[in-house]
Chains A and B, each alone.
Chain A
Amino acid sequence: MLAFLLRRVMQAAAVLAVVGLIAFSMFRFAGDPVNQIVGPDTPASERAEIRRSLGLDDPVLVQFARYAGDVVRGRLGISYQFRQPVSQLLAERMPATLELAFCATVFALVVGVLMGVYCALRRESWLAGLFQAVSLIGISLPTFLIGILLIYLFSVTLGWLPSYGRGDTVRLGWWTTGFLTWSGLKALILPSITLGLFQMTLIMRLVRAEMLEVLRTDYIRFARARGLSTRAVNLRHALKNTLVPVITIAGLQLGSVIAFSIITETVFQWPGMGLLFVQAVQNVDIPIMSAYLLLVALIFVTINLVVDILYTVVDPRLRLSSARTA
């Protein structure tokens, strides 16, 4: 087990290093940061001096080595545009992204499972047809369009929900939360739906398919033959067995919900890490861009690692085979 874990951690470190190198070699195509830092009056000689002092004239590999050395020592650098430590900026923005990702995932799971179960049990009803149609929209419409449509319906036309931002937040230590204020909760609704819609669709279709599969199996028929109530058969026996793959998918999707919240955050001006990243790209703020990409890679790698470990815990066959080969 320990050897397996060590091997996995080393693989994860290698993935991070590769992500960092690829990101760095791509930054030179993003443009020149110096023109975003200085005003139009700055003479060319001063621009050249700034470029040199930021180390932007060095070869990519040298820049990368310097950056990697700093990261290993825990230094993520100073943002070019804000002149603030990147670690501090990311820490300030992280609660917003994580709360949004959490709400979106909860929304996707709850609504997705409910709709999926309903569609499987009442396949012929008109409501199931409607759910299927909605799920098609969720898969085919791009996120930013859904976000804008929701804003126009619920903010501009009806005036019920805010169109941007997090509302009032409450500070608990270094964490800021929107869960404890009325405006913070209202502000979470539209972005969570926008971000979670795709996952919801995915989960709904998965639950429906799995459920239909399970309902055809022998043990369900035996359960019926034993005279159990329909409710107990459907919810206790069928649904439970449906959920195993659903949980796996939802866990794996959590990483992409966090990473792809970029678009939702841009549409709703949600002050999270994704928005910070988009603004950094426009201004070629290399310290923020590299730190964000590393962080996202770290999240994916960690989630995969945890899932791998959980598999070996849950499924003894994996443990045995790894023990045999090790």
Chain B
Amino acid sequence: MSRSTLKILARGVAAGAVATVALAALPAQAANVFRFAFQGDLKSLDPYSLKESFTEGMQQAAYESLVTLDKNLKFAPGLAESWETPEPTRWRFHLRKNVKFHDGTPFTADDVIFSAQRVRASGSNFTTNVPADADFVKVDDYTVDMVLKKPNPIAIAQFPTWLIMSKAWAEKNGAAQPTPPNATSPSYATLHENGTGPFVVAEHQPGVKTVFKKFDGYWGKVESNLDEAVLTTIANPATRVAALLSGEVDWIDPVPLQDQSRVNASGTAIVMAGPELRTIFLGMDQDRDELKDSSVKGKNPFKDIKVREAFYLAIDEDTIAKRVMRGQAVPSALMIAPSLYDRGAEFKRPATDLKKAKELMAEAGYPDGFALTMDCPNDRYVNDEAICQAVVSMLARINVKVNLNAQPKAKYFAKVLAPAYDTSFYLLGWTPSSLDSHNILYEIVGCRKPGDKSGRGSWNLAGYCDPKIDAIADKVEAETNKSKRDALIKDGFDVLNADWSYIPLHQQALAWGVSKKVHLTQRADNLLLLYWVSKDPQ
């Protein structure tokens, strides 16, 4: 090694040593740091780039919405102090004053109008959050009107995940448009943020770690006592649990089912479980005249309501919830979580009845059953493949031979989604993004028509179609009286159940692993919101 290389090396080591000392000096302040690990990445800081609950929760630490949700998922004022509907097609928002973005510029009506355009621009993943026909009109600097073409009682249902960006900042940094997936150059807003929220992103290495720091100029009072929060991705479930048990992180999501009792027994951490909003269900192709990959030729057995009922009655959801899900699931009679529909408790799941199922199969002309293929993801929902395996063995009891085709989500969705809808029998999970039953009646069970761009039936992979449902969904959309609306929704779900259209299975449980030093609020929409996280100081 030459002398000059040695010199460079020595200099490097010296520089490193200085940096080490600087690093070591920082924690001496005993800042209250919350370390947490999630299975996936925080892929982008751009609040319009990816509709996924964890990402949304993280972005809500830095950005805020006009209307927000409280701990019980009820609307609460955010950047809008209050709002009213002077006429059914006009919503007026009174904006909060003295709110500053992280770069110090004040928040005004112009930012709302800008954000309303950007969120609906091409490349945004949140285009449906703001009604497409809504016009935003500035009344003064702190008042904005949203003018609709027709009355819409749930026009602001998705406002809590529509986050407000700064117009001046976005335009200055060339981020006035959301980054489209086919972009050829990186976007500034992907790696930087400038919101009004209680936390500032101090460091963001995509897929490695993200550091949040308290925003000193925040307009409101924050429940959290954190100075700093550090997010790390830990994809491997065993490593994630180990990191929680060894105290290196204070929060993990999710805790695998098989590790939950161990976490609870550790004495240092607990599993916070609660029913999630997502409903897991089975769909049966009722569209094709002949099923793909089935032993029945020339006709589609699922077009016979008796076969659908037989399938429903043969699948023992209680056993799935108890054994496959280890008790971490709530059997569901509806395609929506009961917490999202006030009259959900009126529905009861029909009990498993093998005898009747066999009779129905015989009546339908399949006393010896038939064979078909089932599509199932194996890395999307909690124990998804195991649920499908249980379903396969349960259907074997009524002589239905199911070939299970379980695949990673990337392959599964490519097969079953539009345009191919290439499936006869499948498992899917769904959370209505508006947290409202209309979404189910419209997107999941609405009639799907070729070439229809409205989005009706876009996730109705089974091709189930009952015009009665569509008519009810349209009425639900326009009805502003809550009890009338709930009654309409009940009619819709009654039609759905009478048709044995889909087989709802359960709401899977949320499973956060939380250190006993940490106090936080777990909401059923599975968003981790840092402003509700506190940690006992060291």
Q: A residues near B, CB below 8 A?
A: 29-45, 47-48, 50, 53-54, 78, 80-85, 88-89, 92, 148, 151-152, 155-156, 159, 162-165, 168, 170-172, 177, 179-182, 266-269, 271, 275-276, 278-279, 282-284
Contact = CB atoms under 8 A, between A and B. Distances in A.
B181 interface: yes
B246 interface: yes
9 contacts: A35-B409, A82-B41, A148-B238, A155-B246, A164-B239, A170-B19, A267-B238, A275-B207, A279-B207
Nearest to B459: A40
A240 B290 CA distance: 75
Nearest to A82: B206
Interface stretch (B66-74, B83-91, B186-194): B186-194
Interface in B394-414: 407-414
A267 B205 contact: no
Interface string B236-249: 10111011011110
B52 interface: yes
B20 interface: yes
Nearest to A266: B236
Contacts of B206: 82, 84, 89
Nearest to B434: A41
Contact of A269 (B127, B180, B232): B232
B191 A84 contact: yes
Interface residues of B, number: 71
A54 B181 contact: yes
Contacts of B187: 83
B418 A44 contact: yes
Interface centre among A32, A37, A39, A177 (most CB of B within 10 A): A39
B458 interface: yes
Contacts of A47: 417-418
A38 B181 contact: yes
B320 to A, nearest CB: 23
Given A82-B190, A165-B232, A282-B379, A35 B413 contact: yes
Contact of A163 (B207, B243, B408, B458): B243
Interface in B15-44: 15-17, 19-20, 23-24, 37, 41, 43-44
A246 to B, nearest CB: 23
Contacts of A278: 235
A43 B458 contact: yes
Contacts, number: 178
Given A43-B455, A83-B186, A159-B247, A151 B414 contact: no
B233 interface: yes
Contacts of B49: 83
A44 B410 contact: no
Contacts of A48: 419
A45 B184 CA distance: 22
B182 interface: yes
A78 B183 contact: yes
Given A266-B235, A271-B208, A156 B242 contact: yes
Contact of A40 (B179, B411, B433): B433
A92 B204 CA distance: 12
Contacts of B184: 78
B411 to A, nearest CB: 4
A283 B44 CA distance: 14
A32 B182 CA distance: 14
Contact of A36 (B238, B410, B443): B410
Given A83-B190, A151-B242, 9 more contacts: A32-B413, A35-B409, A41-B433, A43-B458, A48-B419, A92-B208, A148-B239, A170-B19, A269-B232
Contacts of A54: 181-182
B128 interface: yes
A50 B181 contact: yes
A279 B410 contact: no
B159 to A, nearest CB: 15
B16 A39 contact: no
B52 to A, nearest CB: 7
Contacts of B183: 78, 83
Contacts of A269: 232-236, 239
Interface string B40-57: 010110100111100000
B410 A33 contact: yes
A38 B458 CA distance: 14
B20 A271 contact: no
Nearest to A80: B181
A50 B419 contact: no
A39 B50 contact: yes
A278 B41 CA distance: 13
B464 to A, nearest CB: 17
Given A31-B411, A282-B408, A44 B419 contact: yes
A54 B70 CA distance: 40
A212 B328 CA distance: 60
Contacts of B455: 41, 43
A180 B17 contact: yes
A180 B20 contact: yes
B487 interface: no
A151 B455 CA distance: 48
B125 interface: yes
B525 to A, nearest CB: 14
